[in-house]
Amino acid sequence: MVYLVRSKDDLDQQLAQAQDKLVVIDFYANWCGPCKVIAPKLEELAQLYSDRAVVLKVNVDENEEITVEYNVTSMPTFVFIKGGEVVELFVGGNSDKLAKSMEKYVGEVVENPDQSIRGHSSSHLGGGASLNDSEVDSISAGPSATSGNSCDVGICDLGDRDPGRAVPEAKGAALEN
């Protein structure tokens, strides 16, 4: 199950309750096309690893304090936390990388043949093609049909949102992936 974070206090509570489980935070926006494309894969992985991982979603437009704390400027951004420390961060709608990163931190899973992650045909990414390690870290999901934004490289920048809304200034250094 994917949990929608409502506030900074809510996030802090979820992180404390996770204890020694892997925590994956998905920073997304409602207007971000690549965020919408990868959402079903994230839900699938959350169910597959539910006994060893907690998956949280943070809407960047509704939780700017958290967005600034993690220095998020593009979506989707996935932050992996284990034992209270950020162990990995990557930006972009690459479902294969998301699956491999989760597997790396939670260990092997005895897979149900109907829920295979390895070699998974990512049909919701378009074309039914499987991604592999040699392919780029972000996929082209096309612009959001409802937003008119140009998020066409698997990543949306905060600057692509409503032009009347200011981008918060980041506090601290950027995290490296």
The 3 state secondary structure assigned to the chain is CEEECCCHHHHHHHHHHHCCCEEEEEEECCCCHHHHHHHHHHHHHHHHCCCCEEEEEEECCCCHHHHHHCCCCEECEEEEEECCEEEEEEECCCHHHHHHHHHHHHCCCCCCHHHCCCCCCCHHHCCCCCCCCCCCCCCCCCCCCCCCCCCCCCCEEHHHCCCCCCCCCCCCCCCCC
| Whole-number pLDDT of residue 104 | 95
Q: For 81-90, what is each residue's pLDDT tens digit?
A: 999 999 999 9
Quote the mean pLDDT of the chain: 75
| Whole-number pLDDT of residue 154 | 80
| Whole-number pLDDT of residue 140 | 29
Higher pLDDT, 134 or 45: 45
At residue 11, does pLDDT exceed 50? yes
Higher pLDDT, 65 or 133: 65
| Whole-number pLDDT of residue 171 | 38
Domain 2-160 has CATH 3.50.40.10: no
SS3 letters across 79-126: EEEECCEEEEEEECCCHHHHHHHHHHHHCCCCCCHHHCCCCCCCHHHC
Q: For 22-68, what is each residue's pLDDT tens digit?
A: 999 999 999 999 999 999 999 999 999 999 999 999 999 999 999 99
- β-bridge mates for residue 22, sequence order: 53
- Band (pLDDT 50/70/90 cuts) for residue 120 is very low
At residue 100, does pLDDT exceed 80? yes
Active site residues: 32, 35
pTM: predicted TM-score of the whole model, two decimal places: 0.68
Question: With contact defined as beta carbons under 8 Å apart, do 130 and 119 qualify?
Answer: yes
Two structure tokens written together for 92? 């972009």
Q: Where are the domains of the chain?
A: 2-160
Question: With contact defined as beta carbons under 8 Å apart, do 152 and 141 qualify?
Answer: yes
Taking each helix axis as running N to C, give the angle between helix 33-48 and helix 95-106, from 0 to 180 degrees, rounded to the nearest 10. Answer: 30
Report the pLDDT averaged over residues 147-175.
55
